[in-house]
Amino acid sequence: MSIVLSETKWHPRRERKMSEIRNQAIMDVIKNCISKKNNDIPFYVADFSDILFKCRYWKSKLQRVEPFYAVKCNSDPMLLNLLVSLGIRFDCASKGEIDAALGAGAEPSDIIYAHPFKSNTFLRYAASVNVDLMTFDCEQELIKIKRIFPQARLVIRISIPNVPAAFPLSNKFGCTMKDAQKLLVLAQNLDLNVIGVSFHVGSLCEQPFAYARAIGMAKEVFDMADDIGYHFTLLDLGGGFPGSTGSLDIFDKMCYYINEALDEHFPEGCGVRVIAEPGCYVACSSYTLCCKVLGKKLTSDEDTADGDIYKKKCFYYLNDGAYGSFGYGFEKYGYRIKPLLSKSQQASRPVLRSKLWGATCCSSDYIVEDCLLPEMEVGEYIVFDNMGAYTRSLTTGFNGFPMPLTHYVFPPQSAYKNDKLPPFEDYCKDLGSNRLKAFVKIQDYICHDDSNDDLFRKG
């Protein structure tokens, strides 16, 4: 008998309590993959039940804000297929990302081309596939759009200065409030269709109140547009939302300030559609990376005659690194190191100061400069969680090392073995979607992945 979603009495706190069970399920999958695939290629385990949780939690906290997933964060085709099934739309920044979203089953109307600077070729391509919603922040871009794609629906991107964030963006994109008025006048003179305002407070924003200030600034631009003769209908809140395990508290604060500011400046029923561009929030905590120790070397400082073990340092050489999953800035997304050892192994081994090196020959290819780990042996594994954001998408293949494989858990059966799990269709309906075609691709892949037999829900 089919179980309707309302009978499951889903609640965010209940889902959060299942994190330990979910983590154990992921570890079960990792150990199974190691036993079946005993080779030297690193691999991810993608827990798609975590994606479901994030999407539902977003809807519970930001009911008026439509998420447009930032494809640049993690363009895994299976992830994009899942998001299409759930009715999530997409923020794309290039022809390749537009192709990826369309290939996953998205409609052109599901995409915002949210790069303020677009090449002539990419702009022509967007016009050819009818992706007509896009951002701009300067005069030259308006003139380019007028020449190539004058039918586009445009969103002016404003800069939000002085916001503490892991990756500030106001120094690269966005116009000042003073320039916004000049640009809107120019756009009107060019007979271009500007429909709204966008901003980005910076990736991994550290100041939840920044969203309220940015929404207030956007309202000023809406008022400017009214005076000029435009009637804006779209507000894009950009990204900046955290997604690592344990980050929901700061996300809750962001939601509080966003909802308060929307109620003040863009009350429900005002006719303004509100969207946002979460990337890390959706993907970060759902991907776990498993790396193998390919080599080790024990070093010591010259002044360790006293035998202090913590003055010794062990170098470990892993099968992934800075040119793979551990690219620029990965440490800011909340990774955690977990040696794949039993409790008895951890208790019996000395704890050493350690440095984790990447796989390539480059001397700059290291993962962690200094950490404490139980002594590991060659052939053992180290697990890193919170590895779904800006990891797969930044791999280079340098030195001929392969990109990690990905195994998909949807959802891990062991996490729900004492629970009645509703059909996937009910999750889609709960999120306002009935688009199951893309999910069929995921199920088909899972059901025919011999390495993952009996680890996945198949029906």
How far is the C-alpha of 178 from the C-alpha of 422, rounded, in Å? 52
Q: By the 8 A CB rule, do 266 and 220 touch?
A: no
Q: By the 8 A CB rule, do 239 and 203 touch?
A: yes
E-state strands within 31-132: 43-47, 65-70, 89-92, 111-113
How far from 208 is each of 162, 252, 381, CA to CA, in Å?
A: 13, 9, 37
Q: In 229-277, which ranges are continuous DSSP H helix?
A: 248-265
Of 333, 355, 337, 335, whose CA–CA distance to 346 is shortest? 337
Catalytic-residue membership of 361: yes
DSSP annotation string for 186-239: HHHHTT-EEEEEE----EEES-TTHHHHHHHHHHHHHHHHHHHT----EEE---
Give residues with Cβ within 8 angstroms of 115, minimum separation 6.
92, 93, 94, 134, 135
DSSP state at residue 340? -
Residue 63, token pair as written in the block: 């009911």
Q: By the 8 A CB rule, do 145 and 152 touch?
A: yes
Q: Which residues pair with 339 in a beta bridge?
A: 382
Of 323, 417, 316, whose CA–CA distance to 368 is shortest? 316
- CA angle in degrees (0–180, nearest 5) for 134-178-126: 10
How far is the C-alpha of 12 from the C-alpha of 235, rounded, in Å? 27
Q: What is the 3-state secondary structure (H, E, C) of 127-190?
A: HHCCCCEEEECCHHHHHHHHHHCCCCEEEEEECCCCCCEEECCCCCCCECHHHHHHHHHHHHHC
**Of 33, 291, 361, 371, which residue is the catalytic one?**
361
Q: Is 423 exposed, middle or buried (0-12, 13-18, 19+ CB in 10 A)?
A: middle
The residues annotated with a catalytic role in the active site are 361
